[in-house]
Amino acid sequence: MSRAFLFVLDSFGVGGADDAARFGDAGSNTFGHIAEACAAGLADREGVRRGPLDLPTMMALGLGHAARTAAGYPQITGALRPSAFHGAAQEVSTGKDTPSGHWEIAGLPVPFEWGYFPRTVPAFPAGLTQAIIREGRLPGILGDCHASGTEIIEKFGEEHIRTGKPILYTSADSVIQIAAHEQHFGLERLHELCLAVRRLADPLNIGRIIARPFVGETAAGFERTANRRDYAVPPPEATLLDQLVARGTKVIGVGKIGDIFAHRGVSDVRKAAGNIALFDTSLGAMKDAGDGDLVFANFVDFDSLFGHRRDVAGYAAALEAFDRRLPEALALLQPGDLLLLTADHGCDPTWSGTDHTRERVPVFGCAPGLPGGDVGLRKTFADIGETVAEHLGLPPGRHGASFLTSIAMTLDRHA
């Protein structure tokens, strides 16, 4: 049996991108700086921190080696698990956003520039705003700026409830985010508005329109819910996911994977709220996966709750919680399976601002019963998709190269 499990720790970069300076991110290193802060006695918001960053399972799978490959990070502890492999990958896509990173992981780099909005107030062109108000039959909009999602809801949420005006904002990504109250505005109405904005934003080449529903009645009690939905531009070419579905095998997308790929090439969408629930859902998907299937999971909390909010202690705790659950996934692996962990970009919580950071990503994991090893520094994230493709018996694509043969991982397709 050959199955593949691809886990994306959203924003868990390992520094070292050779073009980081072009993005203003030279020196950023999500993993490295979190580890250094913990080693230096970092305290969380309650004033408590239990010593150095403790990730024994990921380190045994090669995370430390991957970090050294990416940026020369010196700390490598413990022995590697049998069949573990490790390396890092450089992004060739022109952005440092979620769709670009995931599409490239799935074998399709993004060579074009997305559309972005300026750091002005208002951020959106007047014509676009007028069209959104008209087609959405809205009394107006709030926000119209670059912002953090939680902060802008706290700032405008009560006015939104009082006036019925949705909250629109953007970031350094190619995105329009629309926050609205699930009851007072209505979840279905929010999704319909996002569809209308998706059509209006297409001429501007905006990558995603994101519905950001929330609940609560006052600024102190507002909380975003699990009913987020991304309305993404579909990939311009077939990805690994399309190829797998076309041949009749399953792609189980956990978390926001279906949204990122505009629900193309994803045969089974499974949602959950929070990394722990997403891990539970991923375990269920692993149990359901059959020969030739791919489970593709995104763990979003690292990025949305801790990276963007520049919460170093929170990010560290989330990594440790993920690491404690990882043995459960390893226990489900069978001979011939491939578990690969990676990231889609960085979001260094020690960095200035709230945006993603341009970083290399770790490439590590294991394939039971097969020899592991050093896969080196990969020239593109597409090598990840090509590796999964080879493992699952697909022909090679145009944009990357599998690393299976480079570490002598010769698979018995008939096992």
Q: Pick from 351, 362, 278: which is nearest to 16 by CA? A: 362
How buried is 41 (Cβ within 10 angstroms: 0-12 exposed, 13-18 middle, 19+ buried)?
A: exposed
Map residue 238 onto helix, strand or coil.
Answer: coil
Q: Is the peptide bond before 335 cis (omega within 30 degrees of 0)?
A: no
pLDDT over 90 (residue 399): yes
Residues 6+ apart with CB under 8 A from 122: 129, 144, 145
Which region among 10-19, 42-51, 316-325, 331-340 has the lowest average model confidence (pLDDT)? Answer: 42-51
pLDDT value at residue 203: 95
Q: Give CA–CA dist 132/284, Å, rounded.
A: 40
Distance CA 93, CA 23 (A): 13
Task: Summarize pLDDT for 241-261 with one digit per residue, the tens.
Answer: 999 999 999 999 999 999 999
Determine the distance from the C-alpha atom of residue 373 to the mean position of all C-alpha atoms in its chain, rounded to a whole number: 25
From CA 111, how far away is CA 22, in angstroms rounded?
A: 16
- pLDDT tens track for 90-99: 999 998 999 9
What pLDDT is recorded for position 369? 81
For the stretch 326-367, pLDDT in tens is 999 999 999 999 999 999 999 999 999 888 999 999 999 999
Q: What is the 3-state secondary structure (H, E, C) of 194-213?
A: HHHHHHHHHHHCCCEEEEEE
Stated pTM of the model: 0.90
For 153-167, write each residue's pLDDT tens digit: 999 999 999 999 999
In terms of Cα–Cα distance, which of 322, 324, 410 is closest to 367?
410
Confidence of residue 24 (pLDDT cuts 50, 70, 90): very high
Asked if residues 263 and 271 have their Cβ atoms less than 8 Å apart, the reply is no
Contacts with 163 (C-beta within 8 Å, 6 or more apart), sequence order: 139, 140, 142
For residue range 182-200, what is the model confidence (pLDDT) as tens digits? Answer: 999 999 999 999 999 999 9
Strands 175-181 and 167-170 come out as antiparallel
Which of 162-171, 217-226, 353-362, 365-374 has the weakest average pLDDT? 365-374
Beta strands 373-378 and 142-146, pairing class: unpaired
Condensed to tens digits (0 to 9), the pLDDT of residues 61-78 reads 999 999 999 998 776 667
Cβ(42)–Cβ(49) under 8 Å?
Answer: yes
First CA to last CA across the chain, in angstroms?
6
Predicted confidence at residue 413, as pLDDT, reads 33
Tokens of 24: 């203003």
**Cβ atoms 361, 312 nearer than 8 A:** no
pLDDT for 253: 98
Query: What DSSP element (H or E) covers 113?
Result: none
Q: What percent of the chain has pLDDT over 90?
A: 84
Within 8 A by CB and 6+ apart from 250, the residues are 244, 267, 268, 289, 290, 293, 294
pLDDT for 49 equals: 60
Please state, for a pLDDT cut of 70, what percent of the chain lies above it.
95
- pLDDT tens digits for range 290-324: 999 999 999 999 999 999 999 999 999 999 999 99
Is the pLDDT reported for residue 385 higher than 50? yes
Lowest mean pLDDT among 40-54, 97-111, 119-133: 40-54
Residue 40 pLDDT grade (very low, low, confident, very high; cuts 50, 70, 90): confident
Which one, of 213, 228, 220, lies nearest residue 158 by Cα?
A: 220
Question: What are the φ and ψ backbone dihedral angles of 143, each rounded to 5 degrees?
Answer: 90, -100
What distance in Å separates the CA atoms of residue 310 and residue 113, rounded to the nearest whole number?
Answer: 27
The answer to whether residues 37 and 312 touch, using CB atoms and an 8 Å cutoff, is yes
Pairwise CA distance, residues 350 & 333, whole Å: 35
Q: pLDDT at position 226, please? A: 83
Tokens encoding 41? 């006695």
Q: Are 31 and 341 in contact (CB under 8 A)?
A: no
**Cβ count near 61 (within 10 Å):** 28
Asked whether the predicted pLDDT for residue 34 surpasses 80, the reply is yes
Average pLDDT over residues 41-65: 82
Residue 299 burial class via C-beta count within 10 angstroms: exposed 0-12, middle 13-18, buried 19 and up = buried
The encoded tokens of residue 392 equal 């699952």
Amino acid 41: pLDDT: 84
How much is the mean pLDDT over the chain? Answer: 93
pLDDT tops 50 at residue 207: yes
| Residues 6 or more apart in contact with residue 278 via CB below 8 angstroms | 254, 255, 272, 297, 298, 299, 300, 301
pLDDT band, residue 411 (cuts 50/70/90): very low
Position 287 pLDDT exceeds 80: yes
